[in-house]
Amino acid sequence: MELQMTDPFEHVNEAIKHGIDALSVVTVIGTLANMLPSIAALFSIIWSVIRIYETKTVRGWLRDDDAE
């Protein structure tokens, strides 16, 4: 039995993803400036890791054949 990985964000519009990316950057900057709580930084880091994982480069490093 082979486990197939699917993109859980494939149904999300790219514009929405970019908006969340911008919010993530603002959250990181705000956290570094001690303006927001640490939990916001955690969510931002998780989102950033997910977005980095989605890149063709990282998927290529992980030898994911489904990367386009």
For the stretch 20-50, pLDDT in tens is 888 888 887 877 777 667 777 788 889 888 8
Distances in Å between the alpha carbon of 65 and those of 7, 19, 45, 57?
13, 28, 26, 12
**Residues of the chain above pLDDT 90, percent:** 1
Q: Return the closest-CA partner of residue 43 out of 27, 29, 54.
A: 27
Residue 39, token pair as written in the block: 């939990």
* 2 pLDDT more than 70: no
pTM: 0.44
Distance CA 14, CA 24 (A): 15
With a cut of 60, say whether residue 14 has pLDDT above it: yes
